[in-house]
Amino acid sequence: MKAVQVVTLTGPGDIEVREVDPPQPGPHDVLVEVHSVGIAFPDLLLSRGEYQFKPEPPFTLGVDFAGVVLDPGHPESSGFTAGQRVAGVNLHGGAAEQVANPAVFTFALPDAMSYDEGAALPMNYLTALFALEERGGLRDRETVLVHGAAGGVGTASIQVAKGLGARTIAVVSTEEKAAFARAAGADEVVLGPDFKDAVKELTGGKGVDVVVDVVGGDAFTDSLRCLAEQGRVLVVGFAAGQGIPEVKVNRLLLGNTDVRGVGWGAYAMARPGYMQKQWHRLAPMIGSGVVKPPIGATYDLADFGRALVDMDERRTLGKSVVRVR
């Protein structure tokens, strides 16, 4: 079968589509015929050997995927049946014509969702739910500020925040991204990098309750300044590439504010069944239509590397998807 593989740790330009043996499912795996694969930031880091998880080359990329169950393993324990539509997530391995994935990291895909949308769901939306609910303690009618709001995690955060009853303010860098964030469901949109005064105005001087920061860099300090009393900045990533920001903790004391790390993957994978509980939490949001992943661009399997380069150079909106079949 065909698989997208890292052969040398020299970046997305050297990724290869190779013929490999089909996977052999383990006792707790589900064998899936892959239709679509989501492009994820960990794929880019893995291609350079820069991710915290470092498999030995050659290995197959692909964090998020969607497709059809070929072999459910033990249906009484996996909960799946042959022919069932599913989405799944793992550290890698999904960018292939077939994948053997642990049943606990595999989810029933609602009929209303396409395979492209299914491949855009797991990592970004479960991360957003973990950030906002588990780490952020988001409450109904609070206000959430989302940086990088036209990207994959950004649009997921907007939609999940809306599903949890929050008001959302999106921060973006261009008018095109502003329109995309609005279409994803943002209540208000602010053009950066000078967002602080506009956010204060939109909140009547109170500030926001939660900031979802996937950008880091210079935006971080102004995010702290935008917080209402007992507000929380959720550190999800550092896409700006400007280094790791530092916190002057006296600011936290004076405002009764928090900075909280969000590391969904390691947390969720160490707790069997946790992702399934999260997926059930998302289900009513999917059913109501508030969660509907915006697909920015689609690629053929041979163009997986180009999709990663486009993401790295910030040319993409929403979630990019590679179609396997």
CATH number at residue 287: 3.90.180.10
Domain limits for position 216: 136-261
Preceding omega of 272 cis (within 30 degrees of 0): no
- Residue 241: what pLDDT? 59
Say yes or no: 91 and 191 in one domain. Answer: no
Say yes or no: 50 and 7 in one domain. Answer: yes
Cβ atoms of 316 and 296 closer than 8 Å:
yes
Say yes or no: 101 and 215 in one domain. Answer: no
131, part of any domain = no
36, part of any domain = yes
Q: Which of 261, 289, 314 is the last residue of a domain?
A: 261
Q: Which of 215, 239, 261 is the last residue of a domain?
A: 261
171, part of any domain = yes
User: What CATH code is carried by the domain that includes residue 143?
Assistant: 3.40.50.720
Say yes or no: 80 and 150 in one domain. Answer: no
Say yes or no: 244 and 291 in one domain. Answer: no
Q: How many CB atoms lie within 10 A of CB 112?
A: 10
Say yes or no: 197 and 241 in one domain. Answer: yes
Q: Model confidence over 259-294: pLDDT tens digits?
A: 999 999 999 999 999 999 999 999 999 999 999 999
Say yes or no: 162 and 229 in one domain. Answer: yes
Say yes or no: 44 and 109 in one domain. Answer: yes
Say yes or no: 86 and 189 in one domain. Answer: no
- Residue 237: what pLDDT? 82
- Helical pair 152-163 and 122-129, crossing angle rounded to 10 deg: 50
Cβ atoms of 257 and 233 closer than 8 Å:
yes
130, part of any domain = no
Say yes or no: 144 and 167 in one domain. Answer: yes
Residues recorded for the chain: 325
- Helical pair 274-288 and 152-163, crossing angle rounded to 10 deg: 80
- C-alpha to C-alpha distances, 104 to 87, 95, 114, 156, nearest whole angstrom: 11, 19, 21, 22
Alpha-carbon span 173 to 193, nearest angstrom:
7
128, part of any domain = no
DSSP states of 285-299? HHHHTS--PPEEEEE
- Residue 192: what pLDDT? 82
Q: Model confidence over 165-207: pLDDT tens digits?
A: 999 999 999 999 999 999 999 999 999 889 999 999 999 999 9
Say yes or no: 119 and 141 in one domain. Answer: no
50, part of any domain = yes
Number of domains in the chain: 2
Query: pLDDT below 70 — which residues of the chain?
Result: 239-243
Say yes or no: 17 and 57 in one domain. Answer: yes
How many CA atoms lie within 13 Å of 201's alpha carbon, on the beta-carbon side? Answer: 8
Q: Which of 212, 227, 261 is the last residue of a domain?
A: 261
270 membership: H or E segment, kind and range: none
Cβ atoms of 177 and 190 closer than 8 Å:
no
266, part of any domain = no
- Residue 284: what pLDDT? 96
Three-class secondary structure assignment of 199-268: HHHHCCCCCEEEEEECCCCCHHHHHHHCEEEEEEEEECCCCCCCCCCCCCHHHHHHHCCEEEECCHHHHH
